[in-house]
Chain A
Amino acid sequence: MSVLYVTLPLALLLGAIGLFACVRCIASGQYDDLESPALRMLHDDSDITTD
């Protein structure tokens, strides 16, 4: 019994889990607006005033 029979389906399964997560993200609307999140990450929580 070769290890290939276990690892290949396992690899595909792991990939499929990632794919499933990605599909969930799309369906929940995370990719609807690609503009504001890009700006939102610039907002620091910490104090950024220079003085």
Chain B
Amino acid sequence: MIAADRNTTLESRLPIPSAKKDVLCDHCGLVSSTIIRHEGRSFCCHGCVGAFALIHQMGLDDYYALRARASTQRVAGSDSIFNRKRASLAAIEMLQDLDAAGVTVHRTLEGLCEVRLGVEGLHCAACSWLIERMQPTLKGVRSAQVRMNDRSIHLVYDPMETNPSEIASRLVPLGYLLLPQYDNESASRTSRHQQHEHLIAIAIAAFLAANAMWIGIALYAGEATGMLASHTVFLRWIGTLLGVLAAVFPGRVFFRSAMEAIKTRTAHVDIPIAIALGMGILGSIWGTAAGVGHIFFDSLASLVLLLRIGRYVQFRSQNAAGISLEKLFQWTNIMTTRIANDGTRQTIAASQLKANDVVLVQPGETLPGDGVVVLGRSHLNVSWLTGESLLRSISIGDGVVGGTMNVESPIQVRVTACGNTSRLGQLEEVIRNAAGHRTPLVRTADTIGKWFVVSILILAVGCWFGWLYVGGPASATMHTVALLTIACPCAIALAAPLVITIAIGRAAQNQIWIRDGQCLERLAKPGLMWFDKTGTLTEGNLRVTKWNGSPLGLHYALLVESQINHPIARAICEFGDSRSDQNTLDLKSIQEFGGAINVNTGWSNRVAPSVALDLATLHVVDGLGVTALVDNLQVLIGSERLLKSKQVFINADWSEQQSTILSAGKTPAWIAINGLVEGLFAVGDSLRPDAVQTIKRLQERGWSIGILSGDRNEVVSFWRREIERSGIHFNAVYGGMSPEQKVEKVRESCMNPYRPVVFVGDGINDAAALAVADVGIAIRGSSEISLRAAPIYVASNRLHSIERLVEASRSTLKTIRQCFAISLVYNTITISLAVVGLIHPLIAAIFMPISGLTVLGLAIAGNSFPKEIQT
């Protein structure tokens, strides 16, 4: 990111002010070596000055006070400001024609326009505050409301005065990017509508239940202390009315689904619920009209309320899973620059591309489709698609695949396939299908629920006829209603969703986002767990793992590499940043060193080394490294071949170090100044610190572990040896797997329905496998967008969380079973009492909620996510 800042600075050809280390930028909070003074504050780049000036000018300085320092964490990788700037220009251009971008604009009666756009770069409260506070300062914008949960903004504006692209361009300097929101509009409207229906039903049911209960209490109290007969009748009628309303309005869904279940001849929990509700209504009306027996309108209403809450909880978790699938495909909605035959350039959505179009792909941009390079040479980062850790070099005539990222220089690509016909499009198809055809694991709740329902129905019929024979229709109805009331399956219906919802909430506190509650049930039994390598077992991005050399060498390496957009350069810059706390020390030693070196090199007598890097001398040698002239020093950074080609002598000691680096599977990067070796970086991927321990613990719990990687076989087997050194045995290791082959392997292992297959991955190349597996666990890595689609998303970026997740799912299932066991025992006792006529419907109505409450208590007490011991 620092590198990018400097890039933007250089781009605008502004002089680089004097260098001084470890100064925090007052806007972005990053450490920077260059300072720009503005109104008594220091900034790292002109971009930040601009952002500050804008915020200051609008009188929004509170932003800085409100913003938490912690949230200014850096995101390594491709998301540099440099790339964002380019992306933002494309987005602004695209917003000029909303219809072409496929965004629906609603027009209000007053002639205003309403549109919902996606916002990138939202982090915390301060962000929504800033955007919403900007609204009065934006001409023509009537309202701007940020919605944090789906990262979108609702804009109301006057089309005569402004347009979305103008609004977007005002937000860009602040770091927020407005993008067309590609939600499936009708689907999201349906789900919103359903959500409203659920909430309204709960509200009505709660109102009716609460009032019915008060009337019930009044009646019980009246029975104990005596009450006018006319009052009793009045209260009964009102109560019955409330109970009937509860069954008719919020409760009608149960009748409907019971009817459907009967039509399809399946046992469903809703059948006894519907029968109990129906009998309750009839019994209450009959009892009230005849003025005899007890009535159950209060339990009727509260039953409806509890059941509706259970249904809502279920709906929420299912809905969340559905939304995430839609989100997965948003990343394919990228924008691209098409070059027409006459040479004009046009920014369009990738979905509008056709075969044979020529597109321009800048460094940092994602290829919009499959194609052939027609101009330029560059390196591609294909790790997203294949998991390959090394960059792939491409030149004219090479085939490229959509979804990979161009990292080095601009290229032009003739598109051969895009959309559904491209390789990515076909992968999408796999993912969509996988969601629909997942092998269902047998759900405990369903099995128990079904048996319960069937046996209760048989018992109820037996009970009714039995009592009809013994005591006539009145007592038959009374006892059967008592049986159905007390045997209410609400404990069974509620237990599983309740326990799982609580577990999901606790998991979220641990930064594990679970979308599909069923996953928790699936993870409880040990099975087979596949791991992706790049980014999952390993860190996934290049890092300097070792540095050996002089402070001077490091200083110049940072200076030169900060100007280059290359993964190794970025790794070196990051390494420099991570040592910024030692920078003062480094500076001192450089000064001392500089003093010493002065004699030899004729270096000027300045105390601190200044930045006098002449960009014209900066020269990238393709595939070898970079050469530059800084402070009249010839600086070389790159491979051994670069150094040799410039006649730099490498002694035996250095060569030995290089071979150590190579044998550890890392890439060596040399720095030489004025023909002398000044240091050696080891750049490479490294294992996640908790990888070995996590795998070990999982194996101890009986899980089989395998690796499915898209990286080359040699690299995969290197890491396998590395991990197996600590006494771990892999059950299966596959390298060189394409995304399609990964899906195939996962499908093969999914054959056994009693053995869950888990896939842990981090990239787009894993997305299909994540969807196909019984449980897909995405771990936060470099390509965050795709991960949100997985049923489980580990945001803590720690593998260790997977082990905790497994543990938690075991205890969750245990709690569910406990709830079942208790309510079954409870039901067996009370049902037998009811059948023999020992339980009065009144007592049944009192006891019914108790079983529900026991389940609730157990669910909350269940320790599904024990507090983590902070290490």
Contacts and interface: CB of A to CB of B under 8 A. Distances in A.
B207 interface: yes
B701 interface: no
Contacts of B124: 39
A12 B235 CA distance: 12
Nearest to B127: A39
Contacts of B211: 12, 15
Contact of A33 (B149, B203, B231): B149
B132 interface: yes
Contacts of A12: 211, 238
Nearest to A19: B207
B607 interface: no
A39 B129 CA distance: 8
A23 B146 contact: no
Given A35-B149, A39-B148, A29 B203 contact: no
B147 A23 contact: no
A49 B63 CA distance: 9
B66 A4 contact: no
Contacts, number: 74
The contact size tier of chain A is 20 to 34
Contact of A49 (B61, B147, B228, B231): B61
B196 A40 contact: no
Contact of B125 (A2, A4, A23, A42): A42
Contact of A35 (B61, B148, B196): B148
Contacts of B235: 8
A31 B149 CA distance: 12
Contacts of B228: 2
A43 B192 contact: no
Interface string A15-51: 1101100110011010111111001101110011110
A32 B65 contact: no
A18 B207 CA distance: 9
Given A19-B204, A48-B62, A31 B125 contact: no
Contacts of A15: 207, 211
B204 A23 contact: yes
Interface in B207-236: 207, 211, 228, 230-231, 234-235
Interface residues of B, number: 31
A43 B200 contact: no
Contacts of B149: 33-36
B726 to A, nearest CB: 42
A36 B146 contact: yes
A49 B65 contact: yes
Contacts of A23: 200, 203-204
Nearest to A26: B199
Nearest to A21: B203
A47 B62 contact: yes
Given A19-B203, A40-B132, A32 B195 contact: yes
Contact of A32 (B192, B200, B204): B192
B741 interface: no
A34 B150 CA distance: 11
B192 A29 contact: yes
B231 A2 contact: yes
Interface in B95-132: 124-125, 128-129, 132
B66 A48 contact: yes
Contacts of A18: 207
A33 B146 CA distance: 10
A19 B209 CA distance: 13
A16 B211 CA distance: 10
Nearest to A49: B65
A4 B199 contact: no
Given A8-B238, A35-B149, A50-B65, A22 B203 contact: yes
B203 A26 contact: yes
Interface of A: 2, 4-5, 8-9, 12, 15-16, 18-19, 22-23, 26-27, 29, 31-36, 39-40, 42-44, 47-50
29 contacts: A2-B231, A8-B234, A12-B238, A19-B203, A19-B204, A19-B207, A23-B200, A26-B203, A27-B200, A31-B195, A31-B199, A32-B195, A33-B147, A33-B149, A34-B149, A35-B147, A35-B149, A36-B146, A36-B149, A39-B124, A39-B125, A40-B128, A43-B66, A43-B125, A43-B129, A48-B62, A48-B65, A49-B62, A49-B64
Given A8-B238, A36-B146, A49-B65, 16 more contacts: A2-B228, A4-B231, A4-B234, A8-B235, A16-B207, A18-B207, A26-B200, A31-B195, A35-B149, A36-B145, A36-B147, A40-B128, A40-B132, A42-B129, A47-B62, A48-B66
> 4 closest pairs, A vs B, by CB?
A39-B125, A35-B148, A36-B148, A26-B199
